[in-house]
């Protein structure tokens, strides 16, 4: 105790000396310096104890920085209806309409680009293939003409586009009608750069209708899996969705839809289907269009989008939600506070601040979940076998309704004995009705006489 007593006496003596000794300028400077140092020490200590709160607070939009924000849909119908796919002479107008600069500034890194017929109901089993080929050609020419757009073949192209301030374009078939019920056409589309296929979309096919997915329909699913095409089941009936999910060996997406429990439109998914997707790599990509998320003739808002995202997360899991957006239409089609891509950052901030979304889950929502599905689809292709010639022979055009075979001239060659009604009657109809009506519009009178004998040769 004597040690502490001596120390205390020493301190009291020094303090007494300091108080009784007149302050000089030098002493004042020393005391001032000590006081300032003490205050700085306290400030630094408080900052450290609060975890460095002087740095900017995290925001939900931070999730957009580390990967390619991916939109499942971008309205591009105007490219054909307005410009008839004439890229060169309308490039400046197309570039202004597409507005990729603002997309890139708002962190977009990839988008699914749909190709198909301008009217699938009219083109189905007629000129759907040729219109789809034109769409692929237009997409490729557009990518080669615009310096900030690249044609993507996989996930690596998506991440590279983001790193180079560009947008990756993934070509998708608008619906199963585009392959004209021919697996050979599907394989050629894959070779031309198609990486996503909508199984039905807005138009049913003879092998995927409201009632079922036929044997050939399952063969289409299998062939898409074999080639690594990511399947999109949006717009498919419940029966087709169930059968396709059971047949597919890879994850699928549902592009441009929402929750049916919130908005009762046919394309949205019911709770049972959403719950069945959990933990399997499937991704539901939410539309921002009022017709999908509100189904009223009035306006919708950002909160409607948030509600759909949250319901899908709660039922299917955070790893099963993505962004379709579907920008490109009229302003009235979208939420009043989410009319274009500039509102996406605020959407992610709201999800983070008020809806219990962590940054890692938001990264999945922005791009990670879709990338995982696309990569899983590609990985599934690596372990499958080469095409089987019997795949088409057993199921191809035989399942088409007889009254649609008028548009097919090779039915007697493909199926000379298996389906006499489908093979013989439609072939005759093709000569007596279809050929004259198409040739009557031309001024040449010799065409009908030269065409008809040729169709009778088989």
Claim to verify: residue 163 and residue 198 sit in the same structural domain: yes
390 part of a folded domain: no
User: pTM, whole model, 2 decimals?
Assistant: 0.78
437 part of a folded domain: yes
d(Cα 414, Cα 430) in Å, to the nearest integer?
16
CB 325 within 8 A of CB 292: no
Claim to verify: residue 300 and residue 407 sit in the same structural domain: no
Claim to verify: residue 371 and residue 412 sit in the same structural domain: no
- Report residue 114: phi and psi, to 5°: -85, 140
DSSP state of 212: -
133 part of a folded domain: yes
Counting other chains too, the contacts that 433-436 makes at CB distance below 8 Å and 24 or more residues apart are 433/406, 434/406, 434/407
Q: Is 339 exposed, middle or buried (0-12, 13-18, 19+ CB in 10 A)?
A: middle
The DSSP-derived string for 31-45 is HHHHHHHHHHHHHHH
Claim to verify: residue 358 and residue 406 sit in the same structural domain: no
Q: Check residue 235 and give left, alpha or beta (phi > 0: left; psi -120 to 50: alpha).
A: left
Claim to verify: residue 377 and residue 426 sit in the same structural domain: no
Specify the residue for token string 């003596």. Answer: 13
- Report residue 24: phi and psi, to 5°: -100, 170
202 part of a folded domain: yes
* pLDDT by position in tens, the chain (length 458): 565 565 556 545 555 555 555 656 666 666 666 767 767 777 676 655 555 444 578 999 999 999 999 999 998 999 999 999 999 999 999 999 999 999 999 999 999 999 999 999 899 888 999 999 999 999 999 999 999 999 999 999 999 999 999 999 999 999 999 999 889 999 999 999 999 999 999 998 888 988 889 888 999 999 999 999 999 999 999 999 999 999 999 999 999 999 999 999 999 999 999 999 999 999 999 999 999 999 766 689 999 999 999 999 999 999 999 999 999 888 889 998 999 999 999 999 999 999 999 999 999 999 999 999 999 999 999 655 677 554 554 444 555 554 456 666 776 666 665 444 443 333 333 333 333 333 333 343 434 333 333 333 33
Claim to verify: residue 405 and residue 312 sit in the same structural domain: no
d(Cα 423, Cα 248) in Å, to the nearest integer?
32
- In which domain, by residue range, is 416 found? 401-456
Counting other chains too, the contacts that 86-95 makes at CB distance below 8 Å and 24 or more residues apart are 87/138, 87/141, 87/142, 87/145, 88/141, 88/145, 91/145, 91/146, 94/142, 95/146
């Amino acid at each position: 105790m004597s040690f502490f007593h001596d120390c205390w006496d020493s301190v009291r003596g020094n303090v007494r000396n300091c108080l009784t000794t007149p302050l000089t300028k030098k002493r004042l400077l020393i005391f001032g310096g000590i006081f300032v140092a003490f205050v700085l020490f306290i400030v630094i200590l408080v900052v450290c104890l609060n975890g460095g709160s002087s740095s900017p607070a995290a925001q939900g939009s931070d999730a957009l920085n580390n990967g390619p924000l991916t939109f499942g849909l971008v309205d591009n119908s105007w490219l054909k209806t307005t410009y008839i796919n004439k890229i060169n002479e309308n490039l400046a107008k197309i570039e202004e309409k597409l507005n990729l600069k603002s997309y890139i500034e708002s962190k977009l890194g990839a988008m699914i680009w749909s190709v198909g017929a301008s009217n699938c109901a009219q083109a189905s089993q007629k000129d759907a293939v040729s219109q789809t080929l034109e769409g692929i050609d237009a997409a490729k020419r557009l990518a080669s003409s615009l310096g900030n757009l690249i044609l993507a073949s996989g996930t690596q192209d998506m991440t590279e586009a983001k790193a180079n301030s560009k947008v990756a374009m993934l070509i998708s078939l608008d619906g199963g009608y585009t392959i004209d019920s021919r697996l050979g056409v599907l394989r050629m589309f894959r070779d031309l750069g198609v990486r996503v296929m909508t199984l039905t979309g807005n138009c049913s096919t003879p092998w995927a209708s409201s009632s079922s997915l036929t044997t050939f329909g399952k063969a289409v699913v299998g062939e898409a899996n074999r080639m690594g095409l990511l399947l999109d089941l949006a717009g498919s009936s419940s029966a087709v969705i169930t059968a396709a999910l059971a047949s597919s060996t890879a994850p699928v997406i549902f592009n441009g839809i929402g929750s049916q429990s919130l908005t009762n439109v046919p394309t949205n998914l019911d709770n049972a289907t959403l719950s069945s997707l959990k933990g399997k790599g499937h991704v539901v990509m939410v539309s921002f269009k009022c017709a999908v998320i509100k189904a009223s003739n009035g306006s919708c808002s950002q909160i409607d989008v948030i509600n759909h995202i949250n319901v899908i997360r709660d039922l299917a899991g955070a790893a099963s939600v993505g962004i379709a957006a579907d920008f490109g239409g009229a302003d009235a089609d979208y939420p009043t506070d989410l009319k274009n891509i500039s509102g996406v950052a605020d959407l992610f901030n709201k999800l983070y601040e008020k809806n219990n979304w962590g940054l890692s889950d938001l990264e999945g929502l922005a791009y990670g979940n879709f990338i995982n599905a696309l990569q899983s689809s590609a990985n599934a292709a690596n372990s499958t076998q080469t095409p089987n010639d019997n795949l088409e022979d057993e199921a191809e055009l035989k399942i088409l309704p007889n009254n649609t075979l008028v548009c097919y001239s090779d039915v007697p060659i493909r199926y000379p004995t298996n389906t006499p009604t489908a093979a013989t009657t439609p072939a005759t109809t093709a000569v007596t009705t279809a050929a004259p009506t198409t040739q009557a519009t031309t001024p040449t009178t010799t065409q009908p006489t030269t065409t008809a004998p040729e169709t009778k040769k088989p």
